[in-house]
Amino acid sequence: MHPHVASYPSLSAVVSAHSDWTSAPPPVPEPKLSLLKAEGTPLESLVHHREFVAAGTPLEIAHRAFQTQRVEYMALVDNDRVVGLCARGQIGFIMSSRFGFALYSQSPVESVRVSHPLIVPCDMPVRELLNRAMARQNEEFQEEVVLVDRESRLLGLIPVGALAQLQSLLVEQQLEELRQQNLELFRTNHALRQSQGLYLGLFKSQILGVAFLDVQGGLHEHNQRLAALLGLDPDSAARIPFVSCVVAEERAEFLALLQKCIRGDSPPLTREFNLLVPQRGPRLFRCSFDWIRETGQVCTCLDDITDQRALERNLLRQEKQTLLDTLVGGIAHELNNKLTPVRGFAELLSDCPASTAQSYLGFIKKGAAEAAEIVRQLLQLSKPASPVMATVDLRPIVEEAVAILRYQLRESRCEIRTLLPSSPTWVLAEAAQVKQVVINLMLNAMHALTGRPHPLLVLELKAGDPLATLTVTDNGCGISGENLRRIFDPFFTTKGPEHGTGLGLSICYSVVRQHGGEIHVESQFGKGTSFTVTLPLEKRSPLLSASEAPQPATSAAAGVSLHTTRVLIVEDEEVVCLLLQEVLRTQFRCQVDMAANGAEALLALERGIYNLILSDIRMPVMTGPELYVRIRETHSKLAPNFVFITGHPGEFRMEDEIAQWNVPVIAKPFTMAEITQVCSPYLRTAPAKSPPL
pLDDT digits (tens, 9 = 90+) for 16-35: 333 344 444 444 444 444 43
Higher-scoring residue by pLDDT: 621, 134 = 621
Per mean pLDDT, which range of 225-229, 234-238, 281-285, 611-615 is the poorest?
A: 234-238
Per mean pLDDT, which range of 160-164, 350-354, 662-666 is the poorest?
A: 350-354
Across the range 564-587, mean pLDDT stands at 87
Residue 588 clears pLDDT 70, i.e. is over it: yes
| 69-78, 506-515, 595-604: range with highest mean pLDDT | 595-604
CATH number for position 94: 3.10.580.10
Residue 545 lies in a domain: no
High-pLDDT (> 70) share of the chain, %: 71
End position of a domain, from candidates 172, 201, 233: 172
| 342-346, 461-465, 639-643: range with highest mean pLDDT | 639-643
Distance CA 322, CA 316 (A): 10
**Same domain membership, residue 46 and residue 138:** yes
What is the gyration radius of the CA atoms in the chain, in angstroms?
A: 38
Q: How many CB atoms lie within 10 A of CB 459?
A: 21
Distance CA 307, CA 316 (A): 14
Residue 445 lies in a domain: yes
Residue 250 clears pLDDT 50, i.e. is over it: yes
Asked whether 85 and 140 are in contact (CB, 8 A), the reply is no
Residue 444 lies in a domain: yes
Instruction: Give Cβ neighbours of residue 464 (< 8 Å, ≥ 6 apart).
Output: none
End position of a domain, from candidates 359, 382, 405: 382
Higher-scoring residue by pLDDT: 27, 584 = 584
Q: State which residues form the domain around 570.
A: 566-684
Q: Residue 312: which H helix or E strand, with range?
A: helix 306-349
End position of a domain, from candidates 382, 407, 431: 382
CATH number for position 234: 3.30.450.20
Instruction: Give Cβ neighbours of residue 29 (< 8 Å, ≥ 6 apart).
Output: none
Higher-scoring residue by pLDDT: 379, 369 = 369
Decide: residue 659, CB within 10 A, 0-12 exposed, 13-18 middle, 19+ buried.
exposed
**Same domain membership, residue 220 and residue 155:** no
Residue 22 lies in a domain: no
**Same domain membership, residue 200 and residue 161:** no
Residue 122 clears pLDDT 80, i.e. is over it: yes
**Same domain membership, residue 409 and residue 370:** no
Reply yes or no: is the peptide bond before residue 159 cis, omega within 30 of 0. Answer: no
Residue 583 clears pLDDT 50, i.e. is over it: yes
Residue 180 clears pLDDT 90, i.e. is over it: no
Residue 665 lies in a domain: yes
pLDDT band at 577 (very low <50, low <70, confident <90, very high): confident
Asked whether 624 and 643 are in contact (CB, 8 A), the reply is no
**In terms of pTM, does the model score above 0.85?**
no
Residue 549 lies in a domain: no
pLDDT band at 562 (very low <50, low <70, confident <90, very high): very low
Give residue-wise pLDDT tens across range 516-542.
Answer: 899 999 988 888 899 999 999 987 655
Q: Residue 519: which H helix or E strand, with range?
A: strand 518-524
Bridge partners of residue 112, in order along the sequence: none
Residue 269's pLDDT is what?
83
Residue 213 clears pLDDT 50, i.e. is over it: yes
CATH number for position 638: 3.40.50.2300
Residue 581 lies in a domain: yes
Residue 28 lies in a domain: no
Residue 18's pLDDT is what?
34
**Same domain membership, residue 134 and residue 42:** yes
**What number of residues does the chain have?**
693
Residue 316 clears pLDDT 60, i.e. is over it: no
Describe the chain by its helix, strand, coil percentages, rounded to 5: 45, 20, 35
**Same domain membership, residue 335 and residue 236:** no
**Same domain membership, residue 394 and residue 526:** yes
Residue 330 clears pLDDT 70, i.e. is over it: no
Give residue-wise pLDDT tens across range 385-443.
Answer: 445 678 899 999 898 888 777 767 877 788 899 999 989 999 998 887 788 788 888 88
Beta strand segments in 420-493, E: 426-429, 456-464, 467-474
Residue 460's pLDDT is what?
94
Q: How many CB atoms lie within 10 A of CB 236?
A: 9
Coil, strand or helix at 572: coil
pLDDT band at 7 (very low <50, low <70, confident <90, very high): very low
Distance CA 514, CA 510 (A): 6
**Same domain membership, residue 605 and residue 651:** yes
Residue 479 clears pLDDT 60, i.e. is over it: yes
Across the range 168-192, mean pLDDT stands at 73
CA angle (447, 451, 454) in 5-degree steps: 100
Decide: residue 178, CB within 10 A, 0-12 exposed, 13-18 middle, 19+ buried.
exposed
Across the range 109-128, mean pLDDT stands at 85
Coil, strand or helix at 61: helix
**Identity at 597, one-letter amino acid code:** N
Residue 181's pLDDT is what?
76
**Same domain membership, residue 250 and residue 199:** yes
Asked whether 297 and 264 are in contact (CB, 8 A), the reply is no
Distance CA 530, CA 559 (A): 63
Residue 87 clears pLDDT 50, i.e. is over it: yes
Residue 692 clears pLDDT 50, i.e. is over it: no
How many folded domains does the chain comprise? 5
Asked whether 404 and 459 are in contact (CB, 8 A), the reply is no
CATH number for position 397: 3.30.565.10
The alpha-helical segments, DSSP class H, found in 147-217 are 160-181, 183-186, 190-196
**Same domain membership, residue 261 and residue 347:** no
Biggest CA pair distance of the chain: 113
**Same domain membership, residue 214 and residue 109:** no
Q: Which of 342, 268, 276 is nearest to 300 (CA)?
A: 268
**Same domain membership, residue 195 and residue 296:** yes
